[in-house]
């Protein structure tokens, strides 16, 4: 596939194997470090593998993003969203606030809710379960996508 462009032999080997089997974590890490024009064969391979698996069909779902809090004890280097609990702009929506946001999205055609927010230091699995049950009890036909891995990990510990 890459006869006419300069691609490292290791890269060629990994990309060629991607058509037949999932790549390894080590190979994935190698590909993540490609630079400059080295990424073009990766992009072309990813597109070709995607086309083999699902064709050119593209789908979407109307989604409503419900940020139920911006209070966060994690200080990610990339995030400008999180606030300390005593920050004047900090918020934590109650059930009514969450349902108001959900209703607005549902009225606009949303059939998926993304339930996301800051990572609360004292959140429990039961709290997150309550949020899911709250939304499902009012919108049983809506899919819910929610909670970051960090939120789940912290609540479970």
Q: Give start and end residues of each alpha helix (H) in the chain.
A: 9-17, 25-32, 39-54, 95-107, 125-138, 149-156
Section 122-129 average pLDDT? 95
Residues of the chain with pLDDT > 70: what percent?
Answer: 97
- Is residue 131 within 8 Å of 145, Cβ to Cβ? no
Indicate the Cα dihedral angle 123, 125, 126, 127, nearest 10°.
40
Question: Shortest CA distance to 39 belongs to which of 13, 18, 8?
Answer: 8
Q: What pLDDT does 3 receive? A: 64
Could you please state the CATH topology (level 3) that the domain comprising 63-156 is classified under. Transcription Regulator spoIIAA (3.30.750)
Domain chopping of the chain, boundaries? 9-54, 63-156
Q: Is the pLDDT of residue 2 over 80?
A: no
For residue range 35-70, list pLDDT tens digits in order.
988 899 999 999 999 999 999 888 889 999 999 999
- 84 vs 65: CA distance, rounded Å: 21
For residue range 69-92, list pLDDT tens digits in order.
999 999 887 888 899 999 999 999
Question: Shortest CA distance to 34 belongs to which of 19, 49, 48, 45?
Answer: 45
Q: What pLDDT does 76 receive? A: 82
- Is residue 116 within 8 Å of 65, Cβ to Cβ? yes
Whether the predicted model's global pTM rises above the 0.75 cut = no
What mean pLDDT is reported for the chain? 92
Q: Is the pLDDT of residue 1 over 70?
A: no
Q: Read out DSSP for 99-133?
A: HHHHHHHHHTT--EEEEE----TT--HHHHHHHHH
Sign of the Cα torsion 52, 57, 61, 67 reads positive
């Amino acid at each position: 596939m890459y006869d006419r462009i300069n691609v490292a032999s290791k890269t060629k080997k990994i990309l060629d194997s991607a058509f037949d089997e999932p790549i390894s974590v080590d190979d994935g890490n190698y590909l993540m470090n490609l630079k400059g024009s080295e990424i073009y064969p990766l992009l072309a391979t990813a597109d070709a593998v995607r086309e083999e698996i699902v064709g050119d069909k593209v789908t979407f779902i109307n989604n409503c993003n419900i940020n139920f809090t911006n209070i966060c004890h994690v200080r990610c280097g990339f995030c400008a969203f999180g606030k300390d609990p005593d920050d004047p702009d900090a918020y934590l929506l109650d059930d009514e606030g969450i349902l108001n946001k959900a209703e607005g999205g549902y009225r606009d055609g949303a059939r998926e809710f993304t339930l996301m927010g800051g990572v609360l230091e004292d959140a429990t699995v039961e709290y997150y379960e309550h949020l899911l049950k709250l939304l499902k009890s009012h919108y049983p036909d809506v899919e819910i996508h929610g909670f970051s891995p960090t939120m789940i990990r912290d609540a479970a510990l």
